[in-house]
Structure 1
Amino acid sequence: MTTISPIKLAIDANNKPANLPRPEAIVHATNSNSSYLRGVALAYKSCGATAYFWVKYGWSIIMGEAPTQGFVAQAINGKANAAVRVPSVYLAFRSGSYGYIVMEYIDGSRCDDSDAELVAAAVQSLIAIQGPTAAPGPVGGGPIAHRFFVDWESPVTYDSVQLLEEHILAHEGRGECVSFGPEVKAHGLRLCPCDMNRTNFMKDLKGMIVALDFGASCFLPPSFAFALREGDDFTQSIARHLNYPASTQLNPMLMASYILVLFGTNKIGIPPKLKNTAK
């Protein structure tokens, strides 16, 4: 029998539907879904009526996504002047090699190129959110998901910005060194969405932009926003409208990332304290 391992969320899901099916039933229902793309809407009974929730699932689901999305939803939903909405997270767990994130179902339509300015305003609200702790990465801890790293994932979990900086500083003799201290002191760790593909946003029935994907979103020093300059045409059209804290670390960041890509590994220069945890 496959073991189901619940994921501890960063916040209590106080708005979790009372009649939400158990994880075993959710796994069974998704196994019966023959049209899987990104997830599936499943029904449950609420006050005698049929309601829906959304299940995002698959082998590529990063478990740091669920608590990060839950934290951001709490921080942004209902906030005055917020230009974005985030589905609340009810439950997250692993079953076998698959991850499952059970969240609020939001009806609407996918965004397209004509929505770039609206999405940019939504992203502007997201990148203003500061992390709950001083540790870089997803909420609750775990590897960093970011374009900086080969295959978009750090080899270790960094308990502090200093350890992350030590890893990058290990590329000595490359001309420049990175220093995150001043910008973190000034701005804190900011949410850095690293994948702004148009399919990761939708508009609800009231025209509000909804951010759907937090698999590549972590709380990081503002310098990591260099990822906003990359990606497809839609991503770059969004980036042109963003006001992000200025960074003096862009060139050394790009150089360090280049070295990792050149050698095809993230394990170069891992601080001694973390070497035994590298994967």
Structure 2
Amino acid sequence: MSASLSPQQVADSLTVDSLIELSNAVPPCDSRRYAITGFAYPPEKPVIFVKFGGNFMKGRDAEARTQVWAYEALQKVPPSDRRGIKIPQVYRIVYSETGTFILMEYVPGQTFLNLMQNGKHILDAKEDEYLAMIERALRIFLSFPVPQDVSPGPYGGGLIRHPLFKEYCSTIEYQTVDLLEKHMNKIATWFSKDAQTLNFERDLHFVFSDMYEGNFMFTDEGDLYVIDFEQANFLPLSFMTYAMVQRHYLCQLGDRLGLPEENLEIMRRVCSLLVMSVPSLGLPIDAPNPRKNR
């Protein structure tokens, strides 16, 4: 492949058949048995990264749409405010019978997870700086102006992918915060009509809820790239609070963000019920709760 081709030209040159062939050559999982869902291309000197998911991964399409929106929203932030904070540019989204491919900017660097595991000498010297950059990225995301007609969920609609839900994914789409709250409160009062209920904020924010340390990439130039938007949605701010109490090292940053905590314990209870129950718990939303009067 010619070295003179731009990343956009490389992305445009790949056919659907070639993307399927390349993705089929990727091992299903790594040495730790974690699923591999992407590859760098070309392998000898990569300029793009291709993330893929089969039709069972319907969220990949929503992820692509959301990453494109987030990238464009970040470009509208004054350069001085977003200095050093970046999102990989999406060059192309390809749909096939087997799934969706997101062809994006290739980012050389080390994730925070890599630094924790193999770069302790670097992390010891720069951890405070790296944590401050991640905190700043999360603050910028929360400050993005939200489109007026957006519903709770990813950009363009879809299921909500967030730690609150069973297997990190809602069962249905919600057109309004009212419907989302009504469903969650139906679950909260499943065993007792007197149980405390949620009162979600009506304003939506761009909530990046996956604090996995591998989602934050630092380059040699000192920039931070946020690289995974599968669990990014427009949601009430309490959902950011809940994201920051998961079992990730970076969740310590939640204390710095000044997030609301009024709904936290009720959300914990709702999550526990969702995890232990069938996905259809509380559905349809307007149907009577069979246990509410017990």
Q: TM-score, normalised by structure 2?
A: 0.74
Query: Does the Cα contact within 8 Å between 1:84 and 1:210 map onto a contact in 2?
Result: yes
Deviations along 1:16-42, whole A, 9 cap, x unmatched?
824512333322233344597342122
Q: CA deviation at 1:174?
A: 5.0
1:54 aligns with 2:49: yes
Which of 122, 133, 152 aligns to 1:136? It is: 152
Distance 1:26 1:225, change over 3 A: same
Which of 248, 251, 266 aligns to 2:265? It is: 251
Deviations along 1:125-145, whole A, 9 cap, x unmatched?
222224323310000101111
Give 1:151-190 correspondences, 5 Å limit: 151-171=167-187, 172=189, 173-180=193-200, 183-184=201-202, 188-190=203-205
Number of the residue aligned with 1:17: 8
Number of residue pairs aligned between Structure 1 and Structure 2: 248
Identity %: 24
- The one-letter code of the counterpart of 2:93 is A
Higher-Rg structure is: 2
Q: Runs of 4 or more off by more than 6 Å in structure 1?
A: none
Q: Give the structure with the larger helix fraction.
A: 2
Return the alpha-carbon distance in structure 2 between the equivalents of residues 87 and 174 of structure 1.
47
Give 1:200-219 correspondences, 5 Å limit: 200-219=215-234
Q: Give the structure with the larger strand fraction.
A: 1
Return the alpha-carbon distance in structure 2 between the equivalents of residues 98 and 135 of structure 1.
24
- The one-letter code of the counterpart of 1:41 is A
- The one-letter code of the counterpart of 1:165 is E
Return the alpha-carbon distance in structure 1 between the equivalents of residues 7 and 236 of structure 2.
32
1:265 aligns with 2:283: no
Query: Does the Cα contact within 8 Å between 2:244 and 2:253 map onto a contact in 1?
Result: no
Which of 68, 71, 74 aligns to 2:72? It is: 74
Return the alpha-carbon distance in structure 2 between the equivalents of residues 159 and 169 of structure 1.
16
Q: CA deviation at 1:198?
A: 0.9
Q: CA deviation at 1:148?
A: 1.1
Number of the residue aligned with 1:29: 22
- The one-letter code of the counterpart of 2:263 is Q
Query: Does the Cα contact within 8 Å between 2:211 and 2:251 map onto a contact in 1?
Result: no
Q: CA deviation at 1:105?
A: 1.6
C-alpha RMSD over aligned residues: 2.8
Distance 1:174 1:138, change over 3 A: farther
Query: Does the Cα contact within 8 Å between 1:117 and 1:241 map onto a contact in 2?
Result: no
Return the alpha-carbon distance in structure 2 between the equivalents of residues 247 and 120 of structure 1.
18
Aligned residue for 1:40, secondary structure, equals: strand
- The one-letter code of the counterpart of 1:156 is I
Number of the residue aligned with 1:145: 161
